[in-house]
Amino acid sequence: MSRYTSATDADRREMLDAIGVETIEDLFADIPAGVRLDRPLDIAAGLSEQDVYARMRRLASRNVSTEDEISFLGAGMYDHYVPALVDNLLSRSEFLTPYTPYQPEISQGSLQVMFEYQTAISEVTGLPVSNASVYEGPSAVAAAGYLARLHNKRGRFLVSRGLHPHALETLRTNAHGFGATVEELPLSDGVTDPDALAAAMGDDVAAVFLAQPNFLGAVEDLEALAPLARSTGALLIVAADPLTLGVLKPPGDFDVDICVGEGQTLGNRLDFGGPSFGFFAVQEHLVRKLPGRLVGETTDVDGRRGFVLTLQTREQHIRREKATSNICTAQALNALAGVIYLSWLGRHGITELAELMLQRTAYARAELAALEGVELLHEQPVVREFAVTLDASVDRVIERCAAEGVNPGYALGRDFDEHPDGLLVAITEQRSRADIDRLVSVLGAAVTAERTGVMA
């Protein structure tokens, strides 16, 4: 039941006659008998639109979303408010349905959006050049590693343990392919240990990877770490959380070579993890090794201002095996959400939002730390997320809280063997003081119950 086709039986007959064959079957004559499917696909018969909707709505209703509970989950993706403006503009078919802008004369909308997006990312990160998007945060980190490998042909990556664990693992997956090794730099009191970094540096280091803030929420001292990381000709790659850069010094101020990150927080919904976008910004000297699409300004034959995909000799469709990346389709629509959102926040709004998170996070951190059986995992400065340790089973505490309609955060033990008792708590602008107070009371009760052996 292919309701999205339009050929009538009469059309079919006319078309087959024009082609000069009897049946549709004849069109597939090239397919050898041995590789034909001699039965129908084992996929249930098609449904009406309303039945598909009902089935999908039922599935969706079995998920507990951030509208169904008070959620403090973060760990890389965050429940920020997405303005209605974003939904409205993204639903325009002119943005939603075109392909990559291969014909610039009829794609000025998408191309100018990318140019504006590149400008916005450049401003937020403090680096001069941004590409038009990569897939998402962790793969952006891996792509940065590949760039470093192309750039200095060295084979060692030093990676802070504060990098998002998914980014670390993605980097490992990729590095194994292109022949680089990954060594972890330990954290000390929640931040990257500068002595460990200094000791590990050498002129075989291709790149050093840091996160700002790191996975435990801590603000890294880039002022101290950057000169060490760049001391032997290695590239410094910082994975940054863009909204925190409303209050934190941008990576560009520390001369980092590449700043990448997860763009979900910029106007993109959670979507159970994607699609979002990854951003990728570099210093001028690396422009010709950038992965992916890049838009530049130019003029048309009448002298009118216009925008085109540019420096394409980096890309797979031109350079093939010598390309600086294989990326083709990226995340244009999600990057559009990003630049609409950043315009909506505006020059001062991004700082106001970051400062609001900072204040509420400080409040939540202090309130939680005051609970019996809860301690701070580190005391470093934080912006929107912080880590605590519980004197109780984290998983069981999470279950108890869930029963009360509160999702208290992310169990660090999922990724960090050294923190089996760790809980990562994120406070976006959507969590009010009342929400935080509720977290404090529910979590406090859950920890107490666990410690005193009360049955759940």
Partner 1 sequence: MSKTMNDNRLHGDPGIADTAGQDGRGLSLEMPKQRDRAVTIFEKSKAGRRAFVAPELDVDAQPLDDLIPARMRRTEPPRLPEISEPEINRHYKRLSTRNFDLDEGFYPLGSCTMKHNPKLHERIAALPGNARLHPAQAPERAQGALELMYELQVALGEVAGLPHVSLQPSAGSHGELAGVLLTRAYHEDRGDHRTKVLTPDTAHGTNPATVTMAGYEVVKVGTDPDGGVDLEDLRAKADDQVACLMLTNPSTLGLFDRNIEEIASIVHGVGATLYYDGANLNAVMGISRPGDMGFDIVHYNLHKTFTQPHGGGGPGAGPIAVSDRIEPYLPRPQVVQGDDGSFVLDYDRPKSIGRLRGFQGNYGVFVRSYAYILSLGGDGLREASETAVLNANYLLARLREAGVAEYLPVAYDRLCMHEFVLSGAPMKRELGLKTLDLAKRLLDFGFHPPTVYFPLLVDEALLVEPTETETKETLDAFADTIAEILREGEQDPEIARNAPYTTPVRRLDEAGAAKRPVLRQPL
Ligand X SMILES: Cc1ncc(COP(=O)(O)O)c(C=O)c1O
Interacting residues toward ligand X by CB under 6 A: 328-329
> How far apart are CB 232 and partner 1 at their closest, in Å?
24
> How far apart are CB 315 and ligand X at their closest, in Å?
11
Q: Which residues contact 219 (CB under 8 A, 6 or more apart)?
A: 191, 212, 213, 244, 248, 380, 381, 382, 383
Interface positions, 377-416, toward partner 1 (CB under 8 A): 381, 383, 398, 402, 407, 410
Interface positions, 108-147, toward partner 1 (CB under 8 A): 108-110, 112-116, 118-120, 122-124, 126, 128-130, 132-133, 135-139, 146
Pairing between strand 187-188 and 181-185? unpaired
Q: 311 burial class (0-12, 13-18, 19+ CB within 10 angstroms)?
A: middle
Give the range of 151-159, 273-281, 384-392, 445-453 binding partner 1 by CB under 8 A.
273-281
Q: Which neighbouring-strand residues pair with 183?
A: 158
> How far apart are CB 330 and ligand X at their closest, in Å?
8
The total number of residues written for the chain in this structure: 456
CA dist., res. 404 & res. 130, Å (int): 44
Residue 398 binding target from partner 1, ligand X, none, CB below 5 to 8 Å by type: partner 1
In 3-state terms, what secondary structure has residue 27?
Answer: helix
> How far apart are CB 319 and partner 1 at their closest, in Å?
7
- Our finding on whether 97 is near partner 1 (CB under 8 A) is yes
Find out whether 424 and 394 touch, Cβ atoms under 8 Å.
no
34 vs 453, beta carbon nearer partner 1: 34
69 vs 391, beta carbon nearer partner 1: 69
- Our finding on whether 369 is near partner 1 (CB under 8 A) is no
Find out whether 252 and 127 touch, Cβ atoms under 8 Å.
yes
What number of other Cβ atoms are within 10 A of residue 66's Cβ?
Answer: 17
Residue of 160, 192, 214, 334 interacting with partner 1 (CB under 8 A): 334
Give the range of 85-93, 152-160, 196-204, 368-376 binding partner 1 by CB under 8 A.
85-93
Residue of 151, 156, 161, 166 interacting with partner 1 (CB under 8 A): 166
**Identity at 104, one-letter amino acid code:** P
Q: Which neighbouring-strand residues pair with 70?
A: 406
What are 451's two structure tokens? 């410690």
Report how many residues bind partner 1 under the rule CB under 8 A: 211
Side-chain half-sphere exposure of 406, counting CA atoms within 13 A: 24
Rg (alpha carbons) of the chain, rounded to whole number: 25
Interface positions, 297-316, toward partner 1 (CB under 8 A): 297-302, 304-308, 310-313, 315-316
137 vs 422, beta carbon nearer partner 1: 137
